[in-house]
Amino acid sequence: MLLKVENINVAYGHAQVLHGVSLEIDRGEMVFVVGRNGAGKTTLMRTIAGFMTPTQGAITLDSEPVNGTPPEKMAQKGVRYVFQDKRVFAKLTVRENIQLAAYPTGEPLSEAIDKVVGIYPKITRFMDKPAGGLSGGQRQLLLLGRALVGSPRLLLIDEPTEGLAAGIIEEVFKVLDRIKGTVSMVIVEQNLPVVCRLADRVYAMKEGGIPAHLTTAAEIQDQALLEQYL
Ligand SMILES: Nc1ncnc2c1ncn2[C@@H]1O[C@H](COP(=O)(O)OP(=O)(O)OP(=O)(O)O)[C@@H](O)[C@H]1O
C-alpha cells in the first residue's frame, strides 16, 4: 500500500474536525473523496500533505510513519498538494512558475516544461507571459502539470474543476484521464459526472467521518448513490 491513513482524529484548536478517518491508496490508483462543504475533505488533504498533525491515529507512506512530518519534507518524499485556490505566482511567467517547481526536485527545466506541455500543449504560447493572465482553467492545468514535475509518488488534488466553465472542465477531465494509472492520486471533487467517469474507488465524507466507501464499478457509476453525500 502506498498511503495508509488509519483512524485519524484532527482538530483546529479545540474543534475536532476529523473523527476516526481511515483511507488507503495503492500505487497507480485514482481515488476520489466526495462530500458536502464542511465535511472535512480539505482538512484530510492538508493532514496527508503535512500541514496538520493528527491527535490520534497513524499515517504511513510506503510503510514509513509520516505523522507530523512537515509539508516541505512530505514534498521531498514525493507528495504534491494541488490546492483548491488555483493560486500561481501571478507576476512570474509560466516558465518561471515551472522553474520554481523543478528547482527543488533537481529535474532539468526542459524536462519539466515538456511534462507540462505534454499534458496541456496550448500552454506553449503563454510560456513567457505572466501566469496571472491565465484563465482559471489554464491555471489549473498549469498547476496539474507542475505537480507532475520531479516524478511524484502521490498527488493530492483539491477540487480541480471547481468554478471552471464547462469546456475547460472537459480539458481538466481529459488531463486527469490521461495521467490516470501513471501516478497515485487522491482527488476531492464535487462534480459527480467527473467522479463517476474516472474513479477507481470513492470515499464519501460526512461530518468529519467516512460513512461510505464505494469500490465496485456499479456503485461508483451510480450517481444517485453519490448524491446522497452532497
Ligand atoms: N482554520 C480553521 N480553523 C477552524 N476550523 C476550521 C478551519 N478550517 C476549516 N475548519 C472547519 O473544519 C470543518 C471542515 O472543513 P474543511 O475545509 O476540511 O471541509 P471541506 O469538506 O473541505 O469543505 P469545503 O468544500 O468547503 O472546503 C468545517 O467545519 C470548517 O468550518
CA 160 to CA 174: how far, in whole Å?
A: 12
The answer, yes or no, to whether residue 59 has pLDDT greater than 90, is yes
- The residue type found at 25 is I
Q: Which pLDDT value is given to residue 151?
A: 85
CA nearest ligand 1 atom 24, residue: 37
3-state secondary structure (DSSP) of residue 92: coil
CA 33 to CA 39: how far, in whole Å?
A: 10
The residues that bridge with 80 in the sheet, in sequence order, are 155
Centre of ligand 1 to C-alpha 43, Å, is 6
The average confidence (pLDDT) of the chain is 95
Nearest-atom index, ligand 1, CA of 84:
27
Is the CB of residue 47 below 6 angstroms from any atom belonging to ligand 1?
no
Q: Which pLDDT value is given to residue 149?
A: 94
Q: Which residue has the higher pLDDT, 6 or 86?
A: 6
CA 214 to CA 88: how far, in whole Å?
A: 34
pLDDT 10s digits, 150-159: 989 999 999 9
pLDDT band at 83 (very low <50, low <70, confident <90, very high): very high
Q: pTM of the entire structure?
A: 0.94
Q: Residue 161 belongs to a domain with what CATH number?
A: 3.40.50.300
Burial state string for 91-128 with b = 16 or more CB within 10 A and e = fewer than 16 = eebbbebbbebbeebebeeeebbebbeebbeebeebee
CA nearest ligand 1 atom 6, residue: 12
What's the ipTM?
Answer: 0.92
Centre of ligand 1 to C-alpha 184, Å, is 24
3-state secondary structure (DSSP) of residue 194: helix
Q: Which pLDDT value is given to residue 85?
A: 86
CA nearest ligand 1 atom 2, residue: 12
The answer, yes or no, to whether residue 196 has pLDDT greater than 90, is yes
- The residue type found at 173 is F
Is the CB of residue 17 below 6 angstroms from any atom belonging to ligand 1?
yes
Mean pLDDT of 184-210: 96
**How is residue 160 written as a grid cell?**
480541480
Q: Tally the domains of the chain.
A: 1
Containing 134, the helix (H) or strand (E) segment is none
Nearest-atom index, ligand 1, CA of 42:
22
Query: How many angstroms separate the Cα of 209 from the Cα of each of 125, 169, 176, 188?
Result: 44, 28, 26, 15
Is the CB of residue 163 below 6 angstroms from any atom belonging to ligand 1?
no
Centre of ligand 1 to C-alpha 105, Å, is 31
Residue written as grid cell 501516478: 183
Centre of ligand 1 to C-alpha 36, Å, is 11
Q: Where would I find the beta strands (DSSP E) of the chain?
A: 3-12, 15-25, 30-34, 56-61, 64-65, 79-82, 154-158, 184-188, 201-206, 209-214
Q: pLDDT above 90 covers what percent of the chain?
A: 94
The answer, yes or no, to whether residue 9 has pLDDT greater than 90, is yes
Q: Residue 181 sits in which domain range?
A: 3-227
Distance between start and end Cα atoms, the chain: 29
CA nearest ligand 1 atom 12, residue: 17
The answer, yes or no, to whether residue 114 has pLDDT greater than 90, is yes
Looking at residue 186, the DSSP 8-state letter turns out to be E
Is the CB of residue 10 below 6 angstroms from any atom belonging to ligand 1?
no
The answer, yes or no, to whether residue 229 has pLDDT greater than 90, is no
Centre of ligand 1 to C-alpha 128, Å, is 36
Mean pLDDT of 167-179: 94
**How is residue 39 written as a grid cell?**
465535511
CA 76 to CA 74: how far, in whole Å?
A: 5
pLDDT band at 124 (very low <50, low <70, confident <90, very high): very high
The answer, yes or no, to whether residue 37 has pLDDT greater than 90, is yes
Residue count of the chain: 230
Confirm if 220 and 202 have CB atoms less than 8 A apart.
Answer: yes
